[in-house]
Structure 1
Amino acid sequence: MAMMETADVEPDTALARMVSRIPRAHPDIPVEDVIASLRGHSFDCADTIFVTDSGGRLEGIVRINDLFADGTDRIADIMEPEHEAVGPDADQEEIAKLAIRLNMIVVPVVDGNGVLIGAVPPEALFRILRDEHMEDLQRLAGINPHEEGPDVALDAPLFDRFRRRLPWLVFGLVMSSLITMVMAGFEHTLDANVSVAFFVPALVYIAGAIGTQAVSVAVRGLANGATPIGVLLRDEMIIGLAVGGSLGVIAWAAVLASFGDAALSLAVGLSVLAGGSMSAVVGFLLPWAFQRTGLDPALGSGPICTIIQDVASLSIYFMLVSALIL
């Protein structure tokens, strides 16, 4: 497969990913003539026949299985008309979204006048999906992606990998001072009942785990674009309440059985419910807010979301403890 890769081609665009030797046909040509014309020719991608007018403008496509279904029709009778395409400067993520949304195995590329100049083949689509997935995983983990792709980042020099991981970890270290401030602000609560401190790690873990799940759902949902954001948010709120409620009941029963303190067990149970529900909403809305401001939804969702969830869940916990116990 001969990709167009030159120094002046912007990487991660349709022009860099497309191939140009593709089968073309005019609408009025009989199907059997098109099949005959394919013999003896070598194409970079022959999964789809691209239907163009006399000026080369894209009019539709014919999938290869439809081409061989009936040899008596004209191409115009079996083509999918007014088929969507991308421009040469389209980002590879947009290409992948279009392919998924329209169930396409090949994405046509047209110029500003609608003239067909090439197509992004299945091999490239698979590569795009993998690269975007790996890049999202790195960003969710707080690792700045490599300019030449995620595979290069794995084999990069040690110092290069070090400097890509460090920034978000430094950010997390600095922002963790907020958690210290929350703990210090409720010092009197800890002094009054040392058992209160026993449940801080569990609350932080639960909030982080629920938030991470919500972030993953949000990033994939935004990348797919098939489901409205309002529907996804509603579902995450329901799931967050259900998960938080279930874990809250379990935590309440476990603390009550272990410590015999009704007020403390109620504070822990309500904190798990509130913290879990809040983490689901924050974890979902943060990637959406990133996208609305023009940033990558996965850019800092993991590290930033962790700080917000930890501070919020601990604040809720200590306020409930202060209200119910002291």
Structure 2
Amino acid sequence: MSHQTTAHTSFETAAQQATSRVPLFTPDCTVDAARLGMIGQRYECASHIMVCEDGYFLGLVRIEDLLSAPADITLADLMDAQAPIVAPGIDQEIAAWRAVNHEESALTVVDAQGCLVGVISPHRLLAVLLSEHEEDLSRLGGFIKGAEAARSTSEEPVRRRFRHRIPWLLVGLFGAFLAADFVGQFEAQLQSKIILAFFIPGIVYLADAVGTQTETVVVRGLSVGVGMRQMIGRELQVGLAIGLALALVAGPLVWWRWGSPEMALCIGLSVFATCATATLAAMTLPWLLNSFALDPAFGSGPLATVIQDLFSVLIYFTIASALF
């Protein structure tokens, strides 16, 4: 089995999952000769017969096609020359999903020169999918470093759990005091327009909800090999679109319920701005924490919440001050 290393040593590659112990014949070999040639041989994977010439991969024949084909035709006539292939260095999860998307039970690994490296067998594909699925669930819970870290964190003693969690919650407590101070700076606006206080929980909640959705989407993408650069533009656009949609709903409802066009405009603008900043914060914080080797399981939630809450309060009262 061929092994290659990549820059991302935390991921296993397609080559590391592939085996070269597979049936291999030339394209001019007949079906009958291939059947006879496989008798008495022990393969790690015999679900697909590799068709190669001078080491170059030409196509494959599925075992069910080989068994049902006429004995005198050649493998060149029977093979699938368009079968999906992957490069040796590609991440194992991307390789597994490519096999699933092409409805293949095994996947061929071919190098840049077109030479056969090996085949990822059905049981290896299944193992990869199960392993990556477990890791994805761990990531969705904030355990970016994998399932083993998730288990370790879940089983650690009470004192260590306390030490891991309390610093981030103290940051959150400090943020709550800071948010209260922010609100206090706008005491005059609250006294003259008490209705402003009614909407603080709603503004904060919507921003947190949008941020949570964005963080989930981003973590899912990272877990299956999608780069941040591929997601950031689309997620920012979605955040703006969601903010605009919520603002267009909230503004008219506030106008209809409380009869204040100024208040409706304030709420609409605040919802739009806070949802847009929530999207940016939700993409940035988990990535930064992971970059500094800090566990996002404990840090991203409290930190993202307090930062977004501060932004939401500040944005809301800044807009209110400009309008009233």
TM-score (norm 2): 0.69
CA contact (8 A) 1:218 1:287 kept: no
Deviation at 1:280, TM superposition (A): 2.5
Count of residues in Structure 1 that have an aligned counterpart in Structure 2: 301
Q: Do 1:101 and 1:224's aligned partners in 2 also have CA atoms closer than 8 Å?
A: no
- Go from structure 1 to structure 2 and tell me whether the alpha carbon gap of 1:115 and 1:21 turns closer, same or farther (over 3 Å shift): closer
Helix, strand or coil at the partner of 2:138: helix
Deviation string, structure 1 residues 171-191 (Cα, Å, up to 9, x no partner): 244145234324313414235
Q: Cα gap change, 1:96/1:15 in structure 2, threshold over 3 Å: closer, same or farther? A: closer
Match of 1:177 among 171, 174, 179: 174
SS at match of 2:157: helix
Q: Distance in 2 between matches of 1:95 and 1:49?
A: 22
**Contact 1:30–1:74 (CA under 8 A) maintained in structure 2:** yes
RMSD: 4.5
Corresponding residue of 1:307: 306
The answer to whether the aligner puts 1:24 opposite 2:13 as a matched pair is no
State how 1:1-12 maps to structure 2 within 5 Å.
Answer: none
- Cα separation, 2, equivalents of 1:19 and 1:83: 12
Aligned-pair identity in percent equals 25
Q: Which residue of 2 aligns with 1:241?
A: 240
CA distance in 1, matches of 2:262, 2:45: 68
Per the TM alignment, residue 96 of structure 1 is displaced from its structure 2 partner at its CA by 0.5
> Which is worse superposed, 262-271 or 58-67?
58-67
Runs of 4+ in 1 over 6 A off after TM superposition: 288-291, 294-299
Inter-CA distance 20–196: structure 2 relative to 1 (3 Å threshold) = same
Aligned counterpart, 2:75: 74
> CA contact under 8 A between 2:22 and 2:44: conserved in structure 1?
no
Q: CA deviation at 1:118?
A: 6.6
**Using the alignment, how far apart are the partners of 1:275 and 1:258 within structure 2?**
22
SS of 2:263's equivalent?
A: helix
1:99 matched to 2:96? The reply is: yes
Shift of 1:301: 5.0
Alpha-carbon distance between aligned partners in 2 of 1:60 and 1:305, rounded to the nearest angstrom: 52
After superposition, give the CA deviation of every residue in 1:267-307 in whole Å (9 maximum; x if it has no partner): 2221101111222344345566678x597997765554333
Q: Does residue 62 of structure 1 match 2:60?
A: yes
Aligned equivalent of 2:88, options 67, 82, 86 = 86
1:256, 1:262 within 8 Å by CA — same for their partners in 2?
A: yes
Q: 1:126 to 1:35 in 2, by over 3 A?
A: farther
2:184 to 187, 210, 216: 187
Task: Supply the distance in 2 between the matched residues of 1:297 and 1:60 (Cα, whole angstroms).
Answer: 46
Q: 1:112-123 to 2 correspondence within 5 Å?
A: 116=117, 119=120, 121-123=124-126
* Secondary structure, counterpart of 1:59 in structure 2: strand
